[in-house]
Structure 1
Amino acid sequence: MRILVVEDEPKTSAYLKKGLEESGYEVDLAGDGVRGLQLAQEHNYDVIVLDVMLPMLDGFGVLQRLRKTKSTPVLFLTARDDVADRVHGLELGGDDYLAKPFAFVELLARVRTLARRGPPRESELIAVGDLEIDLIRRRVRRGTTRIDLTPREFSLLHLLARRQAEVLSRTQIASSVWDMNFDSDSNVVEVAIRRLRAKIDEGQPIRLIHTVRGVGYLLEPRSAN
């Protein structure tokens, strides 16, 4: 899922980006209202986290213009916590309102609630053979065994599972998981695949992660023999 954070305070926006990405979201940032409105109109976001006091165009103005064309869920995040401000934001079409300072766990819970209101993009659970990936809780099990993955490993497994039985090139994986252009001299993809394979397939009679030499990698159940 993809989130837009419109926040002019660099430390706050960096904190939100890091926390949301570690929770499995793709995050775009905008530092002023004009840029935020432009991104919100050009892309389809699952949730927009919107500050009120922004340069160039305040959050209320952003939402007022956005609601002419889109119904993307909007969470106001602001130090302006007067009842009149909250009511005004909701009347303009805001979906939720969280005052600063805030606890990240509360913000994350509110973002997840808003994201569920939109049309589901995929199942909350992906199964490949006896492997189960819980996208909401970010948990992975192979049979009855829980597998602990880093955020990057989870993103890699999610990509492979979402496109199971499809061979993905190193370039496709690097651009999707690391948001980077692939460098032929880099072995970042191979290292990540090797670590993920050790956690997912080691000791299993049915292997899931496979290398297609000269092409890339895929996820599908195959006998180890």
Structure 2
Amino acid sequence: MRVLIVEDEPFMAEAIEAVLKKNNYSVDLAFDGEYGLDCALSEIYDVVILDIMLPKIDGFRVVQTMRRNEELMARIRALIRRQPQIRNLNYLVYEDLVLYPFLLKITCNNKEIAITLKESQVLEILFSNKNQIVSKNILIERIWGYESNTEDNHVEVYISFLRKNCSI
């Protein structure tokens, strides 16, 4: 797991970094909000630990900008789904399952199955984290958002749907 720490106090940032590295996390540091925002928008981090009082851009504005960027990407994906001629045909493979996230379908055992956006998002996260445990909380945060009221059983329902459609 890759973690970004955005903290303007070097002692505090390095202390958190040391604890995380000791627990085998990959950690990068940013010492102001502007650089932290640039790093966070790169989408290479699984977790961002963010101070509120930062130089250049405060932590609240960093989060607001990150959320606006997430909304923009969601709208772009929605437009792509509506425009078949510009759909991206990329796919992900795990054993005998093939996921086509932009087409909202999977193939397994030579059978093509239409899936929902949420099912596709669940599979995309699981496929991208092969041979790793992905908690329900991580799925909820990445699919429904940090401030969502979604509960664990929502994840269980989508996993159940996927298992019924194809042996996962």
Larger Rg: 1
Q: Point out the structure with the larger helix share.
A: 2
After TM superposition, the score normalised by the length of structure 2 is 0.45
Q: Point out the structure with the larger strand share.
A: 1
